A and B are shown apart, each in its own frame.
Chain A
């Protein structure tokens, strides 16, 4: 299957100081790189989860894909067409085929519009005047399991879960090929989270939509994602099939994240790996492997040279960025848990 969305070496920067101030004070790098050199692809109908702590740049990726933020370099190809360099008007046809759901369910709905107007806003934006607004609104509400009379309500009259459903319905309005969901369960009760996730998976199987889900909630990832990418300071440190990552994490950061995730099984042995220290600031990135400041396995080389992306010898779709990846359990019976440093 071909990739619906292929992102290669994407970099996104934010200015730290004004360009004038930068020139005056002689700051050489007036930018911070929120996303530095990210590559991934999403196939049709597939769900990719991007996981990371706050500030790891995962939301920035979403915003760059949809065109809210300009990429500093790299390529974004949607269905074979480069869209990263398109102007706002040129991008518009592609925005019909991608839809984004934002973190804040209520806040992402324009407060003075009724649900009916909110749902039919995509039609009006893209000049589809022939559609019957009432019928479309009713159809979309039905799809997400809300009664038709919700069309008359305003966002502030909706609960978080209802607003999220309206958000899903709006994302579906134009039958997109890809939905980018930024923290789709943020701010929702656990029971409502489940409903929303079930809704998303149901619609995905029914409509064959690809979903890029951005979250820090590992339970969601396990629940719905086909593949998972783990981000740290604007880079993927590990990416692969969700099952595999959960069963066999290779990067120490992934291992730590997974161990921090509460396990509902009361008999499970709690073997939590505490990460030392704070997340380093992207303003002041650590040298070498950026995770070395918090990594319990860090060695000398990690402090000096950044590791390349390596693929798993058994499964080439599982890649990671570490000199000393966690051993596969099959081998670990024979050798040390850690592999010796390559060439050193």
Chain B
């Protein structure tokens, strides 16, 4: 984790270099240091636990569920919880508990896919903007600003109107709208680094632009970027659940938290259990990832705040 802290550390290097060498090899493993620091952060620990629960329940979902999540009429309609149906049943007589457990897979998958692709594109465009000629930089910045001026969920709805409601539309829309911020952060840091002496040194040895970008810029910008991305996970889960809630996400009968919440909303006068089964996991997921993301930022990169 030393290198991560050093992300912006060019200025501090001179001051601190003198005392480090003696203890270098006595340092405990990076993972252990990180865990100890996370343990000190109470909210961070809570977040990590929540995230761990959600991730493992999504991964092992088929082993946990008690009924087939999509089979209708395994029980009565809108039943209250019982020993057979732990969280009751929905309006089609499907087991709510099983649907809730299976419903976590889509949001996590969407978050992973959309943020992953947005990270890659944002990184590439940010590096190009920060390292390329001035006109290209201005053009890209302008593009980023334009995308950022699109009105969030309303823009997402418009794209879905065009492409039709599906999981891939949701992934695409989230990837497009979250990219500009990543690209901007990468650009700012690349620009700060491009005039540093080590880049001049690499050039003086004959290194090409691609080599400098991939081997020397990338390792320096990826750390803060990953933290930013991790902090966006709750927002993505919220958007995915929201679109499913509006019926614009995954298609039925695929179980999904947002869809369960919507079914609960439609039947809110009869039973509150569906609303609880759909809403609580969303709250757990968004809070869990938020707390974890904040803790990650505080541990690795307290300076990141100013880039937002």
Contact = CB atoms under 8 A, between A and B. Distances in A.
Contacts of B18: 159-160
B204 A104 contact: no
B198 A68 contact: no
Contact of B216 (A63, A110, A157): A110
B219 interface: yes
A267 B24 CA distance: 47
Contacts of A108: 197-198, 200-201
Interface residues of A, number: 38
Given A63-B200, A154-B3, A159-B17, A107 B10 contact: yes
A125 interface: yes
Interface stretch (A6-14, A34-42, A95-103, A195-203): A95-103
A159 B201 contact: no
Interface in B190-227: 196-198, 200-208, 211, 215-216, 219-220
A125 B210 CA distance: 11
A112 interface: yes
Interface in A120-165: 121-122, 125-126, 153-160, 162-163
Interface in B158-215: 196-198, 200-208, 211, 215
Given A102-B200, A125-B207, A158 B17 contact: yes
A106 interface: yes
Contacts of B6: 111, 156
Interface string B55-94: 0000000000000000000000000000000000000000
Given A112-B3, A156-B6, A121 B219 contact: no
A153 B24 contact: yes
Nearest to A104: B197
A96 B206 contact: yes
A21 to B, nearest CB: 12
Interface residues of B, number: 30
A99 B204 contact: yes
B198 A111 contact: yes
Contact of A160 (B14, B204, B205, B207): B14
Interface in A80-119: 88, 91-92, 95-96, 99-100, 102-104, 106-113
A187 interface: yes
A307 interface: no
Nearest to A100: B204
Contacts of A67: 203-204
A66 interface: yes
B113 to A, nearest CB: 28
A106 B3 contact: no
Nearest to B198: A110
Interface string B6-25: 10011001101110110010
A160 B207 CA distance: 24
A201 B14 CA distance: 26
Given A63-B200, A102-B197, A109-B198, A126 B21 contact: no
A333 B215 CA distance: 65
Given A102-B200, A108-B201, A156 B206 contact: no
Interface in B1-58: 2-3, 6, 9-10, 13-14, 16-18, 20-21, 24
B287 to A, nearest CB: 34
A93 B17 CA distance: 35
Dominant secondary structure of chain B at its interface with chain A: helix
A156 B17 contact: yes
Interface string B95-106: 000000000000
B93 to A, nearest CB: 57
Contacts of A163: 17
A157 B200 contact: no
Contacts of A153: 21, 24
Contact of B197 (A66, A103, A159, A162): A103
B14 A95 contact: no
A106 B17 contact: yes
B193 to A, nearest CB: 9
Contact of B24 (A99, A125, A157): A157
Contact of B13 (A121, A125, A156): A156
A24 B219 CA distance: 41
A66 B208 CA distance: 14
A126 B191 CA distance: 26
Interface in A158-179: 158-160, 162-163, 170
B205 A156 contact: no
Nearest to B202: A110
Nearest to B134: A18
B5 to A, nearest CB: 9
A160 B17 contact: yes
A154 B2 contact: yes
A68 B203 contact: yes
A109 B201 contact: yes
A106 B20 contact: no
Contacts of A92: 206
A121 B17 contact: no
A106 B204 contact: no
Please name the 8 residue pairs, one residue from A and one from B, whose CB atoms are nearest each other, closest first: A112-B219, A95-B206, A108-B197, A100-B204, A108-B201, A66-B204, A107-B197, A92-B206
Interface of A: 63, 66-68, 88, 91-92, 95-96, 99-100, 102-104, 106-113, 121-122, 125-126, 153-160, 162-163, 170, 187
9 contacts: A63-B200, A110-B201, A111-B6, A121-B207, A125-B205, A125-B206, A156-B20, A157-B17, A162-B21
Interface of B: 2-3, 6, 9-10, 13-14, 16-18, 20-21, 24, 196-198, 200-208, 211, 215-216, 219-220
Given A110-B202, A125-B202, 5 more contacts: A68-B200, A100-B204, A106-B14, A106-B17, A158-B17
